[in-house]
Amino acid sequence: MNAAELLADLAVSLGADAAGWAPAQVPAGAVAEYASWLAAGRHAGMGYLERQLPARADPASRLPGAGSVLVLGVSHAFADPSPPPGGVRVGRVARYAWTPDYHEQLQPVLTRLEAEAARLGVRARGYVDHGPVMERLYAAGAFLGWRGKSGMTVSTRLGAFVTLAVLLTDLPFEGAAPAHPDRCGRCFRCGVACPTGAIGDDRTIDARRCVSYLTIEHRGPLPHELRPGVGDWLFGCDVCSEVCPWSQKAGPLARRLRPDPELAHPDLAAFFGVSERGFERRFAGTAFLRPRRKGMARNALTVLGNTRAPQGWPLLLAGAADPAWEVREAAAWALGQWGEVGQVRPLLDDPHPAVRETASRVLTGSS
């Protein structure tokens, strides 16, 4: 068994649901397509993607002499755990965040692979979805799946709920590398189901409209016209992956990662009346740290404004008095959705102009 086979077998034994090799090459056409997506501004506020383009286009900038990439696919297709008792458990969380941060869970796998590669005389460097590498391109080259019409990697065996990790190596790639054939056919359920119309007809996503981007990466108030489309999504969005026939066929099959009911169905009250430090302590090692406490409180109020879940009423009042202006702004909008204009009127005197503007929109019926 050669080094490539040993490393792939080790990856599977460590919990990868699929593993395959691809050449460490990025075709010029893929770079041009990505650059065009950036030029159109569809990366929204993720400026780091633009800064990382040169590194993404050249794997050797991450690992000199890079010749081949070991791609790992790890399923996060969980069965929905039952919500814990008590609390204000309204809203949905994207499945990948139902488990403690997958970056931290998969990094030890890559560290072990790096060590084994070194023992075999192979230089290697691993990334879990956070380095400037084109994981989805490599996944197609490794025959793990194809880029679906949603822009996500889709696998006939694992569906669309797939987390990718890569190990760049200086092993030469041997043999041909035909990309995985497209199995979407004429299906476009993902695009039709997208609640904000973020999925284009070119297999790309406009992050400016994507619920996942808006609830995780976006800072400040959510665009008013997109708030209804956020629906009950508290963190991220799985609609395009849920409706994919390949996901439905695969069913729940996550093997390495395990869901935590408190993350799958969090108590919204945990985002109010607590300091940022207290929030960080409670949710250490989870994806909820990305939008921070005020982002999660903003999202919670958006969900409550859309669902009007009665158990969330105390949180609307707490949000209107929150120290973060972004939260007070979301509370003004949510209170308006409930028709509680009397509670909105005091926010016309809020010190932040965005809060006053939203309060005014609510009171004039334009929000």
Active site residues: 129
Q: How far apart are the first and last CA of the chain?
A: 65
Dihedral sign from CA coordinates of 221, 222, 227, 232 = negative
Q: Give every CB contact of residue 364 below 8 A, 6+ residues apart in sequence.
A: none
Give the start-end residues of each E strand in 27-186: 68-75, 92-93, 124-127, 146-147, 153-154, 162-169
Place of tokens 């822009």: 151
Q: Kindly state the helix (H) or strand (E) to which residue 361 belongs, with its residue range.
A: helix 353-363
Beta bridge partners of 166: 71, 127
**What is the DSSP pairing of strand 233-235 with strand 92-93?**
parallel
Phi-psi region of 155 (alpha: psi -120 to 50; beta: other; left: phi over 0): beta
